[in-house]
Structures are given as C-alpha cells and as structure tokens.
Amino acid sequence: MGPHPAVAAIRLAVRRTLTDLAAEAGTTFTAPVREPRQRPAEAPLVAAAVGTTLIGNAARHPSGLPRTPAAPGSPLVLVAVSGGADSMALAVAAAFEAPKIGLRVGAVTVDHGLQPGSADRAAQVAERLRSLGLDPVEAVPVLVGRAGGPEAAARDARYAALDEAAERHGAIAVLLGHTRDDQAETVLLGLARGSGSRSLAGMPAQKGRYRRPLLELDRAATRQACSAQAIPVWDDPHNCDPAYTRSRVRHEVLPVLEKHLGGGVVEALARTARLFRDDADALDQWASLAERDLRTGEGTLDAVKLAELPPAVRRRVLRRAALRAGCPAGDLFARHLETVDLLVTGWRGQGPLHLPGGVEATRRCGTLVFRRQGD
C-alpha cells in the first residue's frame, strides 16, 4: 500500500522544489529510493485541536524516515516551522525527500514570545523536528516590535530571524508552508486594501531564498497528511483570534463567499493570483524598458514622454524612480504615486512633493527630478 494521497501529493510538491534547488546548487543525484511500505501507525490524528500541547510518540512516525541522511557538507535547505499542520507536513516531506536528492534539511522555529509558554512550545517543536531527522534544528527567540501593527511586526521579526539563520548556516533556501488557502486569503486582503495587480498576485512560489512548495495544495491536505502520519501539530491561537484581520478572512469571510458564490472560491482566488502575477510581471518589464528610455540623468525623467505612457506603466516608472532615490518600498503607497503622477498629467506649477524617506519629487523644465533632501 502506498502513502496516503495527501502525503504523496505533498511529497511530490516538495520533491519538485528540492530537485530544482539541487540542480541550482549543482548537487549530484543519488539513485532514486523506493517508497517504503506504509506503517500501521499512519492512522490517528494525535493532536490537532486548538491549543493542544504536543504529545505523541516520535518512534511511531513518520512513515519512511530517510534511511541515510545526505553527506555532511551537502547543500542545506531549512524549513520554517511554526509547529502548525502546514509547516509540519512540509518539514516531514522535506526530511523524506531531501536525502534522495543529495540535500540536507534542517529547520528553524521562531518563538515570537507573544504567548505564555511560547519558549517551551518552540523547544518542543524543535525536539519533534530533530526526532523526525532534521538537522540542524533551532528554536530562535525574537523580540517583536510594534511597527505596522502586530501581524506585520511579528512577520518582520520572523523573517529577520529566518534570514539570519539561513546566512549563519549557509542554507541554499528556506521553505515556507503557505498553501493555496493562504494565497486566497492574501488576494482577498489585497482586494480589500484597494491594491494594484502586484498585491493581487499574492505570494510568489519563489522569492530570493524563500520557496513555497505547497502553494498549489489545500490546507486540508496538510492536516490529512499530519493525521495519516500521526504527526502532532500545534494550532496557533492567533490563527483563530478575530482580532487579526487574516483570521477573520479565514474563518468568517471565505466561508461566507464559499456559501453564497458556490464552492471553488479558494481555487478561483488562487487562479486570480497567478493571472495577476503574469500581468504584473509584464507591466514591470515594460516599465523597466520605458524607464531606460525616459531617463535623462541621475534621478531625472522626461515628463513629456512620461505623459505618453499608459497609466499602469507610468506609475510603475514613477515608483521605480522614487525607490531609486531612496524611498523605502514599504512606505511608498498608491496615494503617493498618484500625487507624483499629477506632476506629469495635471501640471499647474505645483511645488515639490515630499515622499517617504526624505525624498522630494519636483518638475523643472519638462523634467521630473527625484532627490533625497540634502543630497
């Protein structure tokens, strides 16, 4: 009997990502290993209820632990693990697949320190991961600030810790457990913010060192996979806390949409993300070519030629120029670009515009000038 279909689907998705990574790293493939027989323990879900502490017997799972870990010094991939079903299913699949491909796999679990007992829980998750064959495994405590609200502050601290761990261990990539459901939520959140196509494109499967192998799979699959392999999971109470926007989207908004618009909303939103990604990529490429043509010097653009561009391309050129002059990407919003755009399309001699990061945009003699004050 082969593995549970959800386990097989997750392994396949992870294998694809790891194979790409191994090819990029120039790793030599080892001979393919046959799927091991499923063990009888692939039945009960040990702990999946909200707030459940980790229990379970590591010796009983998962099915088919890697036989021989990849040689020391082989390229290392880290998995970012919260302890939830998505990232646990991902970590187990990576531990199963990586040695066959000549990669080592480790994990980092970040302790945000936002709940009582979080350090103990992070230590338990780390221990669990070690018992699953991942190495190295670290539980990293972080200090979460306040900038941008609680979700953004936790995310910033988490990614800083993941980046630092990846650098320190020389990892070739960090895997994240986002699923198609997370993607649908991201698209809805972007839509509600009134964002452009780049935001509606959701999360990319690959960005820098980060990869999201499960982006085409349902959250239900990761739960089923953990259940089938008797992997204890921990549900972050924040995921169900209505104080968090994403939680409300997950538990209230999406179910209502599914109910009233018919099934398949999550899939449709994920498809929307893919289509918008292609559109946004094409527009970015166009803007990059147009910018080369319009640049008249360091931080200066030909305003007359800018006016001839379609708005979607023009705004992208303006954004690029503002970023190049030193605007922080996270602080530059559509409303800033709309006012800069008026220097091109609604010119009536208005004065310099002050953009985030101390950048100033002015129009002089048919030229837009972006400069950081004091430069």
Q: Residues annotated in the binding site for ATP, as ranges?
A: 82-87
Q: Is the dihedral of CA 255, 261, 263, 266 positive or negative?
A: negative
Smallest separation (angstroms) from ligand ATP to the CB of 86: 3
Nearest to 223 by CA among 212, 213, 234: 234
Q: Is residue 177 near ligand ATP by the rule CB under 6 A?
A: yes
Smallest separation (angstroms) from ligand ATP to the CB of 251: 12
Return the amino acid letter for 342.
L
Q: For residues 241 and 308, which CB has a smaller minimum distance to ligand ATP in the complex?
A: 241
Strand partners, 138: 108
Sheet holding 295-297, edge to edge: 295-297, 300-302, 367-372, 359-364, 353-355
Smallest separation (angstroms) from ligand ATP to the CB of 334: 25
Apex 42 CA angle, 37 and 44, nearest 5? 170
Smallest separation (angstroms) from ligand ATP to the CB of 126: 10
Query: Rounded to whole angstroms, how far apart are CA atoms 249 and 267?
Result: 15
Smallest separation (angstroms) from ligand ATP to the CB of 136: 14
Q: For residues 35 and 235, which CB has a smaller minimum distance to ligand ATP in the complex?
A: 235
DSSP letters for 35-72: PPPPPTT-----S-SBTPPP---GGG--TT--SSPPPT
User: Footprint of ligand ATP on residues 265-294 (CB under 6 A)?
Assistant: none
User: Footprint of ligand ATP on residues 71-90 (CB under 6 A)?
Assistant: 80-82, 84-87
Look at residue 9 and give its three-state secondary structure. Answer: helix
Binding annotation: 82-87
Q: For residues 78 and 322, which CB has a smaller minimum distance to ligand ATP in the complex?
A: 78
- Binding characters for ligand ATP, 31-70, by CB under 6 A (x = yes): ----------------------------------------
Q: Is residue 110 near ligand ATP by the rule CB under 6 A?
A: yes
Indicate the DSSP class of residue 34: P
User: Footprint of ligand ATP on residues 148-167 (CB under 6 A)?
Assistant: 158
Q: Is residue 315 near ligand ATP by the rule CB under 6 A?
A: no
Nearest residue to ligand ATP, by Cβ distance, number only: 84
Nearest to 272 by CA among 185, 153, 361: 185
Residue partners of 40: CB distance under 8 A and separation at least 6: none
Q: For residues 155 and 295, which CB has a smaller minimum distance to ligand ATP in the complex?
A: 155
Q: Is residue 185 near ligand ATP by the rule CB under 6 A?
A: no
Q: For residues 195 and 239, which CB has a smaller minimum distance to ligand ATP in the complex?
A: 239
Q: Between the CA of residue 232 and those of 48, 50, 65, 120, what are the distances in Å?
A: 7, 12, 16, 15
Apex 304 CA angle, 298 and 307, nearest 5? 105
User: Footprint of ligand ATP on residues 237-266 (CB under 6 A)?
Assistant: 239
Q: For residues 176 and 327, which CB has a smaller minimum distance to ligand ATP in the complex?
A: 176
- The number of angstroms, rounded, from the C-alpha of 104 to the middle of its chain's C-alpha atoms is 21
Smallest separation (angstroms) from ligand ATP to the CB of 170: 19
Q: For residues 97 and 182, which CB has a smaller minimum distance to ligand ATP in the complex?
A: 182
Smallest separation (angstroms) from ligand ATP to the CB of 122: 7
* Among residues 109, 186, 199, 227, the one that binds ligand ATP under rule CB under 6 A: 109
Query: Rounded to whole angstroms, how far apart are CA atoms 17 and 334?
Result: 34
User: What does the buried/exposed string (b/e) look like for 76-101 if buried means 16 or more CB atoms within 10 Å of the residue's CB?
Assistant: bbbbbbbbbbbbbbbbbbbbbbbbbb
Q: For residues 244 and 286, which CB has a smaller minimum distance to ligand ATP in the complex?
A: 244
User: Footprint of ligand ATP on residues 220-239 (CB under 6 A)?
Assistant: 236, 239
Smallest separation (angstroms) from ligand ATP to the CB of 110: 4
Task: List interacting residues with ligand ATP (CB under 6 A).
Answer: 80-82, 84-87, 108-110, 158, 176-178, 182, 236, 239
